[in-house]
């Protein structure tokens, strides 16, 4: 990336507690121009997508040396890259300066005379307050909050924690890194006079779809944790404010909270869908399918574009956003622009395709009112195109319905504007998760993708689908038919044939289960 002379080269950035949306704008901005991202293991994977595609991404776990000797390696890597003129983002869980050793990294940079900036992050305790709807301070119950490490054993030499003071602390205790030592921590607090009936709780992976929480009195907290099976990383909360939490916090009340959903849209289209599902509470896995490829030979398309310029077509009918983009990309590559379309009318199969036209400052003359399928489009178009000449820019293959239907009343030709590849990039991690039953909803956004995805299913996965443990959710009855043809049951079909319709079908199904 082009270095900005007004900015330092190294950024120590807080990634927040786990939900990608909880990183700061400044963090996202500097990540967006990083050459090297050195990230902690707990940093949400989706945040790394914010870095340029060309950026090198290194998990500090993979650096040589075991914790705590790893730190010199991290420092060294930061310094080397920055000295070489790279923009480096050191991405750390929560806030860099709260139990994050960010101070040591800053010190190493200072010693190397490298300018840096520290971007704060939402620390686990603050996120826990928000997602559990638990007031960390309270007019009546807590005038202070203490962020405490549970990592230091009470009998460790040089231990700096004053358990007597903590037991008497007039507020909420938020104890980090304490799950493995919970019995010792509880014991110390009780020993120093904290009442055993003090309200307490644990939240594991707060702010993520994997979040789990358990509440009990301080005296019974370890039993409750064990029964609920909560593990690290988790935060322990102790104090009267814990009893003031909302009974059904908003975060866990979302319709897909904790549900595991697979998104199979192609990589460049998946981001929006992943975000929507995550906002509904889902844990999303991705296995991108059907990549779009530009044409190997443009001769036919170029001829059609000539005809469009000559005003030989009355209608251009687009059946996908990809088709719109490929069409105009080629027009622009030929050094021409939308004026070539003149009075040609435009139709779009649905709102997403109409949006793609809008990207080129064009308004669709016709979008079917509700059914966003070839049939719906044909029905809506027929009264308008009678006796006219209609061009259908489309993928190298697809259904023939539109051409057949419209041919009854108009002169229709198809032109291939992009190539659709059926390949599903088989992702072993995702297939393993399916085999183990760790993904419940598989979303299928087109018949081609459905065929591609199902081709990767082995007997174990098919068995789970047949027994209803994995639910196949289809964007439309056509996609549903493609699934049934391959001998597998369809759990739900969207009633509106859009991405939002597909998501709504998952929500609806989850609500019924």
Least distance between ligand SAH and beta carbon 393 (Å): 47
Among 27, 94, 350, 398, binds ligand SAH (CB under 6 A): 94
DSSP label at residue 3: P
**Cα(80)–Cα(76) distance, integer angstroms:** 6
Among 10, 11, 17, 364, binds ligand SAH (CB under 6 A): 17
**Cα(236)–Cα(310) distance, integer angstroms:** 72
Least distance between ligand SAH and beta carbon 176 (Å): 4
Our finding on whether 281 is near ligand SAH (CB under 6 A) is no
Query: Which residues share a beta bridge with 118?
Result: 12
Among 207, 320, 420, 443, binds ligand SAH (CB under 6 A): 207
Closer to ligand SAH by CB, 124 or 378: give it. Answer: 124
- Please identify the residue of the shown chain whose CB is closest to the bound ligand SAH: 94
Interface mask (CB under 6 A) for ligand SAH, residues 54-93, using x and -? ---------------------------------------x
Our finding on whether 225 is near ligand SAH (CB under 6 A) is no
Our finding on whether 123 is near ligand SAH (CB under 6 A) is yes
Backbone conformation region of residue 380, classed left if phi is above 0, alpha if psi is from -120 to 50, else beta: alpha
Q: Furthest-apart CA pair in the chain: how many Å?
A: 91
Is the dihedral angle over the CA atoms 383, 387, 389, 391 positive or is it negative?
A: positive
Our finding on whether 98 is near ligand SAH (CB under 6 A) is yes
Q: CA 494, 497, 500 angle in degrees (round to 5)?
A: 75
Our finding on whether 374 is near ligand SAH (CB under 6 A) is no
Residues numbered 301 to 330 that lie near ligand SAH (CB under 6 A) are none
Closer to ligand SAH by CB, 179 or 305: give it. Answer: 179
DSSP label at residue 388: S
Least distance between ligand SAH and beta carbon 17 (Å): 4
Order of strands across the sheet that contains 389-395: 292-293, 411-420, 389-395, 315-318, 345-348
Residues numbered 124 to 153 that lie near ligand SAH (CB under 6 A) are 124
Closer to ligand SAH by CB, 137 or 496: give it. Answer: 137
**Cα(218)–Cα(152) distance, integer angstroms:** 19
Our finding on whether 99 is near ligand SAH (CB under 6 A) is yes
Show the tokens assigned to 3. 């270095």
Our finding on whether 205 is near ligand SAH (CB under 6 A) is yes
| Burial group, residue 427, by CB count within 10 angstroms (0-12, 13-18, 19+) | middle
**Cα(166)–Cα(173) distance, integer angstroms:** 8
Least distance between ligand SAH and beta carbon 105 (Å): 12
Least distance between ligand SAH and beta carbon 444 (Å): 32
Using DSSP, state whether 309 is helix, strand or coil. Answer: helix
Among 72, 233, 255, 501, binds ligand SAH (CB under 6 A): 233
Is the dihedral angle over the CA atoms 257, 263, 268, 273 positive or is it negative?
A: negative
Q: Are 176 and 149 in contact (CB under 8 A)?
A: yes
Among 35, 95, 105, 405, binds ligand SAH (CB under 6 A): 95
Residues numbered 169 to 188 that lie near ligand SAH (CB under 6 A) are 176-177
Residues numbered 39 to 58 that lie near ligand SAH (CB under 6 A) are 42
Q: Are 121 and 15 in contact (CB under 8 A)?
A: yes
Instruction: Enumerate binding residues for ligand SAH (CB under 6 A).
Output: 17-18, 42, 93-95, 98-100, 123-124, 176-177, 203, 205-207, 232-235
């Amino acid at each position: 990336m082009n270095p900005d002379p007004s900015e330092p080269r190294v950024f120590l950035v807080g990634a927040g507690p786990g939900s990608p949306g909880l990183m700061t704008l400044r963090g996202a901005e500097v990540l967006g121009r990083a050459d090297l991202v050195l990230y902690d293991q707990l940093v949400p994977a989706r945040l790394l997508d914010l870095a340029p595609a060309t950026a090198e991404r290194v998990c500090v776990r993979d650096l040589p040396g075991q914790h705590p000797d790893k730190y010199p390696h991290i420092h060294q890597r930061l310094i080397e890259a920055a000295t070489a003129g790279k923009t480096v983002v050191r991405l750390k869980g929560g806030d860099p300066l709260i139990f994050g050793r960010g101070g040591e990294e800053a010190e190493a940079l200072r010693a190397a005379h490298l300018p840096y900036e520290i971007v704060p992050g939402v620390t686990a305790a603050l996120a826990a307050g928000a997602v559990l709807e638990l007031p960390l301070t309270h007019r009546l119950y807590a005038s202070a909050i203490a962020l405490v490490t549970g990592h230091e054993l009470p009998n460790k030499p040089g231990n700096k924690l004053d358990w007597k003071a903590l037991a008497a602390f007039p507020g909420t205790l938020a104890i980090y890194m304490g799950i493995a030592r919970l019995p010792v921590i509880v014991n110390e607090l009780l020993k120093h006079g904290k009442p055993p009936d003090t309200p307490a709780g644990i939240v594991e992976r707060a702010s993520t779809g994997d979040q789990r929480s358990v509440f009990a009195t301080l005296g019974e907290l370890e039993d409750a944790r064990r029964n609920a099976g909560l593990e690290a990383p988790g935060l322990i909360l102790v104090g009267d404010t814990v009893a003031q939490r909302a009974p059904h916090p908003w975060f866990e009340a979302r319709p897909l909270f904790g549900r595991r959903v697979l998104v199979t849209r192609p990589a460049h289209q998946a981001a929006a869908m992943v975000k929507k599902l995550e906002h509904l509470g889902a844990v999303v896995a991705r296995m991108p399918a059907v990549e779009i490829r530009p044409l190997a030979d443009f001769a036919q398309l170029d001829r059609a574009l000539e005809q469009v310029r000559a005003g030989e077509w009355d209608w251009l009918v687009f059946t996908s956003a990809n088709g719109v983009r490929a069409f105009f990309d080629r027009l622009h590559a030929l050094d021409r622009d939308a004026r070539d379309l003149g009075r040609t009318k435009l139709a779009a199969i649905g709102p997403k395709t109409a949006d793609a036209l809008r990207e080129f400052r064009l308004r669709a003359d016709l979008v079917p009112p509700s059914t966003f399928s070839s049939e719906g489009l044909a029905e809506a178009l027929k009264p308008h195109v009678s006796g006219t000449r209609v061009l259908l820019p489309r993928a190298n293959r697809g259904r023939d319905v539109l051409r057949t239907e419209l041919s009854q009343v108009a002169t229709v030709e198809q032109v291939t504007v992009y190539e659709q590849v059926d390949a599903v990039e088989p992702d072993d991690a995702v297939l393993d998760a399916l085999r183990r039953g760790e993904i419940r909803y598989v979303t299928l956004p087109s018949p081609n993708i459905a065929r591609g995805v199902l081709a990767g299913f082995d007997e174990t996965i098919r068995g789970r689908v047949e027994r209803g443990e994995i639910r196949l959710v289809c964007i439309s009855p056509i996609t549903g038919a493609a699934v049934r043809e391959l001998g597998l049951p369809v759990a739900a079909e969207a009633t509106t044939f859009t991405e939002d319709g597909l998501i709504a079908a998952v929500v609806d199904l989850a609500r019924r289960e």
